[in-house]
Amino acid sequence: MSTPPRVVVLDYGSGNVRSAVRALERVGAAVDLTADPRAALECDGLFVPGVGNFHACMTGLRAAHGPRVIGRRLSGGRPVLGVCVGMQVLFDGSAEPSDRPEPGLSEWPGSVERLHAPIVPHMGWSEVRVGERSRLFAGVEAERFYFVHSYAVLAWELEATGAFAAVAPIVSWAEHGVPFVASVENGPLSATQFHPEKSGEAGLHLLENWVRSL
């Protein structure tokens, strides 16, 4: 019997993440909810949640040595999955108001902007226009996923050309008033704006795809 992949859900104060732990366990991962940097470095996959304000999440992430852990994992090609604000922090910054602005991790260029829509927040189930060659969405390309957010990345700014075109990030899109980035798959780094752990069977299938890739 094979050993299940070890996944750490990074516990840096971003909100209730028990649903993520339960979902990952359901799809076959051995899960630890912890802020321990060593455990986060050594696990097979790191799950970075995020709920609420971008700047508050960045403050908590820095206090838990999250930027160093994420950077070291990616430099070694070790998988990381960011979800909701855990995706947004991977960009340069956010236009979300805050008394203490915090820059993002700048793994990808671009800023998180307020959605231009008649009703904000975007809360509910939406279709995703899945990027070509996606492994994350394999088998659930036509499904809906659950979103809860007021801010998103409205423009993808990283364009791979020349010799790098074959390994360009796979970007998937959704729409609420305007198109926005719903997910990115970029080598060991993946992220979703929606909550797979709250997206029913489709979300579980997507998480299983990620866990199996570990």
Q: Quick one: pLDDT at residue 162? A: 55
**Better-scored residue on pLDDT, 213 or 163:** 213
pLDDT band, very low/low/confident/very high, at 81 (cuts 50, 70, 90): very high
Structure tokens of 84? 């909701």
* pTM beyond cutoff 0.85: yes
**How far apart are the C-alpha atoms of 207 and 19, rounded to whole Å?**
12
What is the per-residue pLDDT across 123-139, written as a single tens digit (0 to 9) for each? 999 999 999 999 999 99
**Is residue 54 within 8 Å of 151, Cβ to Cβ?**
yes
pLDDT above 90: percentage of residues in the chain: 89
Tell me the average pLDDT across 65-72: 97
Higher pLDDT, 35 or 166: 35
- pLDDT at position 86 is 97
* Catalytic sites, residue numbers: 84, 195, 197
> How far is it, in rounded angstroms, from Cα 115 to Cα 177?
7
pLDDT value, residue 30 = 98
Instruction: Fill in the amino acid letter for 74.
Output: L
Q: What confidence score (pLDDT) does residue 132 get?
A: 95
Q: In this predicted structure, what is the pLDDT of residue 160? A: 67
Residue at 113: amino acid letter: E
Q: Classify burial at 165, counting beta carbons within 10 Å of its beta carbon; exposed 0-12, middle 13-18, buried 19 or more.
A: exposed
Please compute the mean of the pLDDT values over residues 153-176 and round it to a whole number: 82
Say whether 58 sits in a helix, a strand or coil: helix
pLDDT at 28: 97
**Local confidence band at 62 (pLDDT 50, 70, 90 cut-offs):** very high
- Tokens at 1, concatenated: 């019997």
R_g of the chain, CA atoms, integer Å: 16
For 6-213, CATH number out of 3.40.50.880, 3.60.15.10, 3.40.228.10, 3.40.30.10 equals 3.40.50.880
Of the pLDDT bands very low, low, confident and very high (cuts 50, 70, 90), residue 1 is low
